[in-house]
Each structure stands twice: as structure tokens, then as C-alpha cells.
Amino acid sequence: MQILVVDDSKAMRSIVMRAVRQAGYDTVAFVEAANGVEALKVIRAAPPGLVLADWNMPEMSGIELLKTLRAEGNGIKVGFVTSESDPAMRDLAFQSGASFMITKPFTPDSLKAVLGEVLA
Amino acid sequence: MSGAGMAAWLADLEGSVAEIATSALGLPGLAVTTRHENPPTLLGAYLGLVGPTGAVQIGLAARPAGCQALAKGLMGMTPAEPDLSEAEMADAMCEIVNIVAGAFKTRLRDRAHPLQMGLPVFISGAIKSTDHVAVQVAEVTLGDLPAAVLLVHPRQAEGA
């Protein structure tokens, strides 16, 4: 399976990918994007099995990415990995079709818990 | 927001940095050495937060070796590993401040101060106070690492 990791921080993309492997998904292949615009290009060209997206990013935020995908009829699984934990933002994420929202800093175990539900 | 209010916000910011130091950087915690209003000449990452009554910037700054140590902590690297490039270090410092901002925002939301986060920037040098902008500085140690926690806020808010 392929996972698209979307974050404007290269450091955080590395951390997320390492945490996914540490969560037991060590055969997953990763694709990276630095914002929603780049992510849309990747998804339209070759849809991954899951998108792990930051919320606050330049050019196109994570929630804008999700809304754009759903407006196009794309039901790809999208989970947010973000420093945001605002209940209103969480509600917006789920109303917009997010599979989960996990707050930074996270542990491989907390990531494993949400991935287990989404990838089951 | 009064000057005393900004002191409370700085305490919340210190608490947020302490929380992230232990949970994300592998550091034992934070101790405040001194608080003042003279921004130090350091490397630092800053992030703006906008609320209904105005905007503030939060910052975490250190000497280059300190920034390397903090960045390596975020990346799960040991101090003995080769230094990150300047771009990698800046990126990691910005991410640290981004995570701190999330914790800070949560603390303030609990006291009815909703804020929206901006994007972080990395700056080399001192943030300057002006007639309109004040800077609150907490000099801290994160483990044995000296650093500064900064809160930049509008002066008109002091008497509001």
C-alpha cells in the first residue's frame, strides 16, 4: 500500500513516515507532498491508499485539500496529523469527510491505533 | 488584555514549551532563569496567532548549537549524530514552534481566548520592540540547554 504524507515541514514528514513504520506498517511505500496543491497532483496522477495531511500549510491547507477531493467525488481516506486540537476544527474535519485527526506530538502507538481502524 | 495578562500568557507559553520539551524533544523539562523585555540576539522560530482582540507572535530561540540540539531532539537523533543542515535545522525549529503553538492555543482556549495559527518563520537576530510592539522574554533552560521563549504583542493591548 502507498501512503501520501502531506506537510510543509520535511522534518515532520520524516517523523510521520518513521512513526508509521514503527507502528508496524514497515512494508508501506510513501509519497510526499509539501502542501495541498502538490498533494492534489499526486492523488490525481496515482491515488494512494491513504493520505496523512497536516492542517496548516501554505498554498492549500489540509482542510482545503480534503474539501477539494470530496467536491471532485474522490472518497480517498484522509487523516489529519496536526498540532491543531480545536474541537470546532475537529468537527469540521469529520463533517468534511476526514477519517481521523491526531494531534502532534503523537506516539507510534497513538498513530497505530488510528491506522489500525482506518486500514483494517 | 493587561500587562499582567500578557505575563500570564507568557507563563502559558513557558508551560507549552515545557510540555513539548518532554513529550516531543526528549528533554527533562523547562526551568525559567529570568524574565525581561530585552530580546536576545539568537536564532529562533516564530509563529503568529490571531484572535478577536489582536495578534501575538510566539518564539523559541537559542544559539546555533542549541537549535541543533532542539532540532535533533524533534527528529529523534542523538547529540552525537552529524549536525543537520541549516535548512533542516530551521525547518525542524519551525515545526517545534508549530507544535508549541498548538499546545499554547489549547491552554488559551481553555480560558476563552480563541486563536488562529499562522505559519512559522525562522529568524536570525533580535526581534525589536517598537512603540507599538512589546516583547516579553523568558530565558530558560531545557535540560541543560539555554534558550529563550518570546511573546511579541501589541503595546495597545497592555492597557486594554
- Provide the β-strand partners of residue B154: B133
Q: Which CATH number fits domain B3-158: 1.20.1290.10, 3.40.50.300, 3.30.530.20, 3.40.1550.10?
A: 3.40.1550.10
Alpha-carbon gap, residue A7 to A55, rounded angstroms: 8
Q: Scan residues 136-155 of B and list those with Cβ closer than 8 Å to A.
A: none
CA distance B105 to chain A (A): 8
Per-residue pLDDT tens digits for A83-112: 998 999 999 999 999 999 999 999 889 999
DSSP B159: B
- Asked if residue B118 lies in contact with residue B110, where contact means CB atoms within 8 angstroms, the answer is no
Q: Which of B48-52, B87-91, B151-155 has the highest mean pLDDT?
A: B87-91
Tell me the chain A residues in contact with residue B24 when contact means C-beta distances shorter than 8 Å. 104-105
A100 lies in which domain range?
2-118
Share of residues in chain B with pLDDT > 70 (%): 94
Number of neighbours of residue A110 by Cβ within 10 angstroms? 14
Please state the ipTM of this predicted complex: 0.93
Give contacts of A86 with chain B, Cβ < 8 Å: 105-106, 109, 114
pLDDT at A4: 98
pLDDT tens column, B26-43 = 999 999 999 999 999 999
| Nearest residue in B to A88, CA atom | B114
Q: What is the three-state SS of B51-86? A: ECCEEEEEEEEECHHHHHHHHHHHHCCCCCCCCCCH
| Residues B46-67, mean pLDDT to the nearest whole number | 94
pLDDT tens series, chain A, 120 aa: 999 999 999 999 999 999 999 999 999 999 999 999 999 999 999 999 999 999 999 999 999 999 999 999 999 999 999 999 899 999 999 999 999 999 999 988 999 999 999 987
Domain chopping of chain B, boundaries: 3-158
Give the CATH number of the domain where residue A53 resides: 3.40.50.2300
For residue B53, pLDDT over 80 is answered with: no
3-class secondary-structure state, position B108: helix
Domain count, chain A: 1
B30 grid coordinates: 523547562
Q: Which of A11, A18, A84 sits opposite B95 (nearest CB)?
A: A11
